[in-house]
Amino acid sequence: MKKQKISFDLTIFDDLHELSAEHQKLMLSAIDARINAYAPYSSFQVGAAIQLANGEIVTGSNQENASYPSGLCAERVAIFYAGAKFPNVPIQAIAISATSLNHVVDKPAAPCGNCRQAISEYEIKQEQPIAILMMGETGQILKCNALADILPLAFNSSFLD
Ligand code: THU
């Protein structure tokens, strides 16, 4: 038997201004994208902004549906759009921000498991890490350097061979 510990580097920022200029701009785009969330059921509005290697920023927001599972998270709206519009441009980072009509979101919004899996696919495809920046409406901002850090032992296409 052998035991192995899996760990990763998490950077914690107390304020938006501590981020690099590029990441600040990306997070501001995610905050902006929250406005277009369609969240009549949860009142939880999420914005996601993707930094592409060609300088473009692609954004998305959560889009809910009366048939709840038919809705989609902001991260997947954004990453599928990036994949559809810029299929061969590497994704460098994703910034996520969330707010709620019901309470103050004062802790960083972490991508759900389905979104981690979706982002993982693109990270593996491009063979370059995708940094993940997470924020609520106020409070700290978290950064991890790669999606793989927050989805250890991920399912990937090698299992299908
Ligand atoms: N949501 C996101 O858009 N991203 C996440 O990472 C977590 C959850 C959305 C889905 C749903 O519209 C609402 O937030 C409440 O779960």
Q: Distance between CA 45 and CA 69 in Å, rounded?
A: 16
State if residue 105 touches ligand 1 by the CB under 6 angstroms criterion: no
Atom of ligand 1 nearest to the CA of 64: 12
> Among residues 75, 121, 127, 137, which one is catalytic?
75
> Ligand 1 centroid to 27 CA: how many Å?
17
Whether the CB-CB separation of 49 and 59 falls below 8 Å is answered with: yes
Q: Distance between CA 156 and CA 161 in Å, rounded?
A: 10
Q: Is 137 an active-site residue? A: no
Looking at residue 97, its pLDDT comes to 98
Q: Distance between CA 141 and CA 106 in Å, rounded?
A: 10
What is the percentage of the chain residues whose pLDDT exceeds 70?
A: 100
Q: Distance between CA 58 and CA 24 in Å, rounded?
A: 15
Q: Distance between CA 102 and CA 62 in Å, rounded?
A: 16
> Ligand 1 centroid to 111 CA: how many Å?
8
Which residues of the chain, if any, have pLDDT below 50? none
Looking at residue 142, its pLDDT comes to 98
pTM: 0.96
